[in-house]
Structure 1
């Protein structure tokens, strides 16, 4: 009997333990990696709305409400293209500061005075005073919406940043798109909930960054800006009106892989970038600067560079009273720009974008393995942008000049051609094997390069000690140059109506 009682008691304890464990593990949204106690926060009170270390609960709530109201007003300002109400106060803030910095306490003296009187500001009180969760974007049809993303296939997580998580999905089994939504495990939400213990309000604060990005994607129409396809508001995770943006899908920009591609493709990336920056400098909203300018903010779509992350873009130009107020600081170099008679730092947004393009893109992608006759011009472009001697207008003009010289073959006129061998032309023929590798190549198992004409192909073959023949294909690059396979022999030639083979016969 005693053993039976012990067994029953043990069974009850085990059942209780298993039941508790299953309840914890299968709570919706539970992530064991996010349940670790955070430094500086007592585990028993972390996330509790009743625990406000060092500050009054009402003060914390009003501070969060103020941030939500400020973020919402920024969204409306971009939507209506209005100057900020407190332009002078805002413009003196460092533009590099992120839109969401919840670590720093920012309680205004006006709020403090109202709190002392025991009255909450009407615009920031909880009773129905928060801005609308939904923002009407008035996008032009056709427009993708909630109905289109309910039955997606091939869902893949692409990555996340400070605020957003991005997923790749396929709609109707045909169209691949990107879905952007607030990342509940991201820095914005985690810091906000840790400080204010109000998940729904913290979500609203973060979601306005996506709304701002969607408005900018709508207002700024350019070939090098990602397309906005639509959006969806729906209830999720016990939060009403959660937002998902539907955008064009691009491939992440991997600089290491990009460095291994041909100079022609790397030049295309730089040209795409300066065309984008030229548009941003003269956009319908004014001069737009990308505050969070990093390669990860861009994607590649069909070989073209496109900016995808605009939630930290700004049209605000710094105010000044003298040139000393127009100081731009970068990790390796600083600049002082002139202060205009209107009290604005002249072309600061444009110059900030341009120097970031220099330090993240031009120095790595432009000069290396470029045609020798183009290198002096490319070096001049890199040096001028690195010293901010040029603005974006001159920079884009010079890169367009490089494109013209390259596409037209003019850059070959100054090159000295020393042709030592003769080549036999064999129409409608190809060499399927006898490959060798070269760098950079469009083919990982052979030497496939682009040339302007047969003369340049012969010159390339002369410079490769392995080359004994080459095959002109009917494929071209984005500049219209012909792709050519270079071969180490011609022992096996086969018929091919789309190719022309040249075999070295002397030399």
Structure 2
């Protein structure tokens, strides 16, 4: 082959050789880069995990006071809320409870502070704070009458004695379950509970059958309501309207407070709260629309409510508002305590309450307007 022919062949094959060479080089570089990227990613992930673990180790609380735990309990929807189920091997049955069967016996019972037909309330002391402990005891009317009715041989029969506690214990269990389903600031806060059995002969918290723990409040009286500052009276009225609106539209239906009295409410952190739910239910009164003849004056339902599907729909809400007006609103919204310039607005609000208007949003707007007027006058 001549020199010119050799050069021509070289020129033809040189691009192909260069292409093959650089293809191999680029492939090797890509593999190295990929391995390096993977290594960096693994290293970065490890460092991030290490940092996260270090962070949680640093921020994990060593001990928390009762007050701080209570505040976290109140902010149950916050991201820092305590998880009471942490560390449990079985499924946790408590919902953000501060007290469970594991620690409820650490409460020191001080004295009895109240009682009803079915249960007693005791002042409890836990880590420097007061709480209220409710339980069924043999000294309550329901249980005592049943125990007194047992014959001599039956008195020593544990099974027969336990039957005397079934109904009172059911009432306390009902209250616990209702508070697990209802969420409003108008209810006394349930801090925890323990359900072991229906045994209620002892007040020892290590063995008592059903125990419920609540926040502590102070009693309410007509004098205390009357002596509140005008601004606080309006704020309490706004809170109560919100509470009764919630009862009328609760997840369980329209709830009625059957045993509605001022003793079943307490003042907790300047807020009126209901403390007894064992007589609350969602049963509207029954009626028979077909038995009412045209010449009969008597209406089958109170408050002018029509009978629908055999029930006086709306009766519960009106009855609650009627009792609330008698016990609370007539003292909180008495014209004597308000400036004269607010009389007309106050009169309209009281008129709506007397007529048992269930226009809660309208009443709330009027109360807000009244509050602004009082603030501007001062």
- Fold shared, TM-score > 0.5 on shorter chain: yes
Is the counterpart of residue 381 in structure 1 residue 345 in structure 2? no
What is the alpha-carbon distance in structure 2 between the residues aligned to residue 400 and residue 209 of structure 1?
37
The structure in which a higher percent of residues are helix is: 2
* Of 227, 234, 258, the match for 1:291: 258
Q: Which has the higher contact order (CA 8 A, sep 6+)?
A: 2
What is the match of residue 339 of structure 2? 371
The match for 1:192 among 101, 122, 146 is 146
- Given candidates 200, 206, 215, the residue that maps to 2:168 is 206
- Give the 5 Å matches for 1:124-273: 138-153=93-108, 155-173=110-128, 175-195=129-149, 198-233=160-195, 237=201, 242-273=209-240
For structure 2, the residue ranges without an aligned partner over 5 or more in a row are 1-90, 152-159, 293-297
Quick one: distance in 1 between partners of 2:164 and 2:254?
30
- Following TM superposition, by how much is the alpha carbon of 1:201 offset from its aligned partner in structure 2, in angstroms? 1.0
Q: Secondary structure at the match of 1:146?
A: coil
Structure of higher CA gyration radius: 2
- Aligned to 1:275, the other structure's residue is in SS state helix
1:203 deviation in Å?
A: 1.1
Q: Give the TM-score taking structure 2 as reference length.
A: 0.63
Do the aligned partners of 1:253 and 1:298 also contact (CA within 8 Å) in 2?
A: yes
The Cα of 1:325 is off from its aligned counterpart by 6.8
| 1:355 maps onto 2:322 in alignment | yes
Tell me if 1:275 matches 2:242: yes
Q: Which residue of 1 aligns with 2:363?
A: 398
SS at match of 2:138: coil
SS at match of 2:130: strand
Structure with more of its chain in strand, by fraction: 1
Q: 1:237 to 1:154 in 2, by over 3 A?
A: closer
Partners of 1:193 and 1:264 lie apart in 2 by 51
TM-score normalised per structure 1: 0.48
CA distance in 2, matches of 1:158, 1:301: 16
Q: Report if aligned partners of 1:359, 1:386 keep a CA contact under 8 Å in 2.
A: no
Asked whether the equivalents of residues 123 and 133 of structure 2 are also in contact (C-alpha less than 8 Å), the reply is: yes
> How many pairs were matched up?
267
Cα gap change, 1:405 to 1:385, in 2 (>3 Å): closer
